[in-house]
Chains A and B, each alone.
Chain A
Amino acid sequence: MNTILGLGFILLAGLFSARLISGIRFPAVTAYLIIGILIGSSLLKLIPVEILNASGLISNIVLGVIAFSIGQNFYRDNFRKIGKSVIWISVLEACGAWLLVTLVFLLILRQPFYISLLFGALSSATAPAATVMVIREYRAKGSFTDTLLGVVAWCLIIFAISLAISQAIYSHRLAAFFLIRVFLNSILSILGAFVSGSIIAILLSYFSRFIRTQAELLIFTLGCVLLSTGIAIWLHLSVLLANMFLGAILVNINKSSFSSFEVLKTIDSPLFLLFFVLAGANLEIGLLPQLGLIGSAYLVFRMIGKVTGARLGAHISNASNSIKKYLGLGLVPQAGVALGCALVAKSDFPNIGSMIFTTIVATTVIYELVGPLCTKYALQKAGEINIEHHQRI
């Protein structure tokens, strides 16, 4: 099969399977992953090698686009609206999962420090899609739901920072290990992303006055996101952070910038589809049996870390009882960003990437199945699902 035929096939198969699976109320992401696994390198081998080899490229682009839109959340008005508890819970649940998974991998599973750290960083991500789907499906409403949504959005920001730190440590693992040096490198990588994002945001804002049509706006915005992604890769900065800062600065300095974010939405859906199908296709099923211990440790300790961290954050910020008890469970789903980063890791570090990647995909599939149930349980316990309504459906 040639490359173009392969692309057409992937898009159509993805669309079809998403429709099929929506009948049993699963998110489209799950369908893309499953179709990817089916037609991927382990089973039917229907995806051309050229496309598989481009996985790293596609995920970098998609991550850039995702991070850029997440940057919008840094709009100054949003800071005022977001409560203290959201920030505490987001920071602590992410750190909880990160610390616990890193420590377990390092001390119990005896993995090298940098691998433990990468797993730790990946574990701090939460998938908004699954969580939001449950909230919408059951029409949940109330302060618990508000807090949960706030935390989910902020989680991504904290995830990007923790990943940048892990990458800084990874890239210096060969040098003698000095804590200060690693710390400086992390700061440098974050600052570098900030500077690069700011400069491109200022340029984008300035030159946008010459843009006349939607088509030009789309080309211009996409060009700037790719520019920022490319510069981040070139200078070894975090792609996520650089684009997040680009979006964040832009939304604060240019009042008509929301058009730039909106225009990207017109093209991102096929990119996302491709990205998830490729994530599934890259899964090496042969590796799965060996990953039993690592995978289950990751599954269990990520969950414990999130729940404990969220509970601690809720206590510190004096949140209500239901938030203290159940919010962590609502954060169990994982996908999207973690998958993308694992895909990048796979192409960047071929020797360890496969293991990380396969673990993340395998656990993502499990989390995709279990996560929504956890979220639903949490919402039910918090008393914000209208059961009567649900049963009528």
Chain B
Amino acid sequence: MRVKEIMSKEVITVRRSAKLKELLELFNKFHLFPLVPVVEEDNRLVGIVSFRNLIDVFSPYHQEILKTVPFLDEQEEDIFKVELTKHIGDLLIVEDIMETKFISLQEDAALEEAFKLMKLHLKEEFPVTDETGKLVGKIGIFDIIRRVFQEKGVI
């Protein structure tokens, strides 16, 4: 069984130039904030945004290079106390907060492989690309579990 057989092919994506405000509004009616792939015009996958990256907005200074420096007092900002300017929704764009180091799956990968990677990296969903790096879908842990139930004849 391959990833492409069970992945969701319709995925909500954003461009790197989208504003934070637009990103938040996009998922206004959702129960939770999903993993959002960031794609270029030709659908090439360049990043992902998760709720973690939204929390980073509250840190006054969060530079990529700092994440690698040891001994930093990694106090998470108290998001209830941080003062944010109300213009931040227009000032920040997706490119500022997206994650550029992430794991994506090839559409031909085996389901077992996908499940293994989810467990290993403690992630619940992965974006799926074709060989050229273009986004073709998204697969979540529930997609896999449901498929296994199906195979066992439970549903």
Residues of chain A at the chain B interface (Cβ within 8 Å): 22, 27-29, 65-66, 69-70, 72-73, 77-78, 127-129, 132-133, 135-136, 139-141, 145-146, 149-150, 152-153, 156, 211-214, 217, 255-256, 258-259, 261, 268, 272, 335-336
In the bound assembly, the distance between CA atoms of A205 and B69 in angstroms comes to 22
Q: Is B50 an interface residue (CB 8 A)?
A: no
Q: Is B10 an interface residue (CB 8 A)?
A: no
Q: Which residues of B contact A132 (CB under 8 A)?
A: 66, 69, 72
Interface residues on B, range: 20 to 34
Q: Is the CB of A72 within 8 A of B61?
A: no
Q: Is the CB of A259 within 8 A of B61?
A: no
Find residues 59-113 in chain B having any chain A CB closer than 8 Å to their own CB. Answer: 59-61, 63-66, 68-73, 100-101, 103
Q: Is the CB of B66 within 8 A of A149?
A: yes
Take A214-B120, A256-B103 as given contacts and tell me if A336 and B68 are in contact as well, using a CB distance cutoff of 8 Å.
no
B117 to A, closest residue via Cβ: A256
Q: Which residues of B contact A77 (CB under 8 A)?
A: 100
In the bound assembly, the distance between CA atoms of A357 and B4 in angstroms comes to 60
Smallest Cβ distance from B8 to chain A, in angstroms? 22
In the bound assembly, the distance between CA atoms of A140 and B61 in angstroms comes to 8
Take A27-B73, A261-B68 as given contacts and tell me if A139 and B60 are in contact as well, using a CB distance cutoff of 8 Å.
yes
In the bound assembly, the distance between CA atoms of A336 and B101 in angstroms comes to 27
Q: Is the CB of A128 within 8 A of B72?
A: yes
Question: Main secondary structure on chain B at its contact with chain A?
Answer: loop
In the bound assembly, the distance between CA atoms of A336 and B72 in angstroms comes to 11
Q: Is the CB of A129 within 8 A of B61?
A: no
Q: Is B121 an interface residue (CB 8 A)?
A: yes
Q: Which residues of A contact B119 (CB under 8 A)?
A: 212-214
What are the nearest 10 A-B pairs in CB distance?
A139-B60, A129-B71, A128-B69, A72-B68, A258-B101, A66-B70, A153-B65, A69-B68, A256-B103, A336-B71
In the bound assembly, the distance between CA atoms of A139 and B119 in angstroms comes to 37
Take A212-B116, A259-B120 as given contacts and tell me if A268 and B65 are in contact as well, using a CB distance cutoff of 8 Å.
no
Partner of A128, one of B64, B71, B116: B71
Q: Is the CB of A153 within 8 A of B69?
A: yes
Q: Is the CB of B68 within 8 A of A70?
A: yes
In the bound assembly, the distance between CA atoms of A376 and B125 in angstroms comes to 43
Q: Is the CB of A65 within 8 A of B69?
A: no
Q: Is the CB of A149 within 8 A of B63?
A: yes
B60 to A, closest residue via Cβ: A139
Partner of B68, one of A129, A133, A140, A153: A153
Q: Is B1 an interface residue (CB 8 A)?
A: no
